[in-house]
Amino acid sequence: MQTRASRWVREAIQSQDSYHVPDVADVIKLDAMENPWSFPPEIDAAWRESLAGIALNRYPDPVARDLHAPLRALMQVPDSASLLLGNGSDEIIQFILLSLAAPGRTVLAPSPSFVMYDVLAKACGMEYAAVPLGDDFSLDLPAMSRAIEEHEPAVIFLASPNNPTGNLFESAQVEEIIAIAPGLVVVDEAYQPFAGSSFMSRLDSCPNLVVMRTLSKVGLAGLRLGILAGHGEWLDEFNKLRLPYNINSLTQATAAFALQNWDVFQQQIDAICEERKRVLEALKAMPWITTWPSQTNFILFRSESQPADTVHARLLVDGILIKNLHRPGTALENCLRVTIGSPDENDTFLASLSRSA
């Protein structure tokens, strides 16, 4: 029987699934690329004090102007580039796609990559073209070039470093894609703090390039603050679809405080990178595990002796939640992704995983 909702909700929406976040408690949570540390005690009190004077009965600054200068300095945004802030990167992706959506237009991205490119493209009524990565998860430039010629995409998303594979794409290949793209190219640098490399300096010379960043991965996932940098001719249009007051007052104040104390976060980033190296070496020592290099705060690995579903379930019994990426018949078959946690969390994960062989 047709319901009123099924009559009126677009078929493209009805055919999709909601984004699933596991409802779990009392586990070591290594599934969502979060920083395992919060504000250290020496600055926690100062942070709380910085929130005391916020007038919650008033709307926030509509453009979060106090954040622009410190974000530009931290992320080395060229003076010629504009800046636009979103309620997380997801909102930025959404208003980019809403701005470019039109009948017959296509979004293109490598595969596998960040799932929300696909989800939001289809939600906006656009076609989505996924170009498989190489066997080592590098960009297949000939395949990308053919797809660009065939689809003439309105926008290309390149997550570099890439989620869920963890690798940084070769700069020369990204530059080639920007050069031949007929429309916009979004380089998503959500994991840039763990890699060091950036396309931010190319904004001056690449008028069809925008660079996206976030504060979520470095320890501020609860804020939901995404950053987009690029030429004003693009961002001025995107800004028309940015919802009013999209960055709330608590987020603005906390982000400002964090940027003033960035050395604390940089120390945590450095510690995560050191732990990443240690965890990767431990995984490589397990003969039934295949790993790939990572320049993010997570590691992708494949179970060669046990189904990924089995490994995932056994870890959960031990109170450890990682991401099960298993998709039969794809490059991610029997693959799992673990976020780098604290040293104790990582030790617990590795001990539990070793018992799953």
Enter the tokens of residue 134: 């190489």
Please tell me the distance from the alpha carbon of residue 285 to that of residue 125, in angstroms, as a whole number: 46
pLDDT of residue 179: 98
**How many helices and strands, by DSSP H and E, does the chain display?**
13, 13
Please tell me the distance from the alpha carbon of residue 207 to that of residue 82, in angstroms, as a whole number: 12
Residue corresponding to tokens 């990572």:
294
| Beta-ladder partners of 209 | 185
Q: Going residue by residue through the chain (357 aa), what tens digit of pLDDT does each one get? A: 789 888 888 888 888 777 776 767 789 999 999 999 999 888 999 999 999 989 999 999 999 999 999 999 999 999 999 999 999 999 999 999 999 999 999 999 999 999 999 999 999 999 999 999 999 999 999 999 999 999 999 999 999 999 999 999 999 999 999 999 999 999 999 999 999 899 999 999 999 999 999 999 999 999 999 999 999 999 999 999 999 999 999 999 999 999 999 999 999 999 999 999 999 999 999 999 999 999 999 999 999 999 999 999 999 999 999 999 999 999 999 999 999 999 999 999 999 999 987
pLDDT of residue 17: 77
Please tell me the distance from the alpha carbon of residue 88 to that of residue 94, in angstroms, as a whole number: 10
**Domains contained in the chain, CATH given:** 4-40+263-354 (3.90.1150.10), 58-260 (3.40.640.10)
Please tell me the distance from the alpha carbon of residue 104 to that of residue 127, in angstroms, as a whole number: 7
- Which pTM value belongs to this model? 0.94
pLDDT of residue 155: 98
- Strands 323-324 and 335-339 come out as antiparallel
Enter the tokens of residue 40: 């250290």
Residue corresponding to tokens 């636009």:
84
Peptide bond into 62 cis (omega under 30): no
Q: Using one digit for the tens of pLDDT, what is the confidence trace for 154-203?
A: 999 999 999 999 999 999 999 999 999 999 999 999 999 999 899 999 99
Q: What is the Cα 136 distance to its own chain's centre?
A: 20
Please tell me the distance from the alpha carbon of residue 52 to that of residue 222, in angstroms, as a whole number: 18
Enter the tokens of residue 276: 């990443």
pLDDT of residue 42: 85
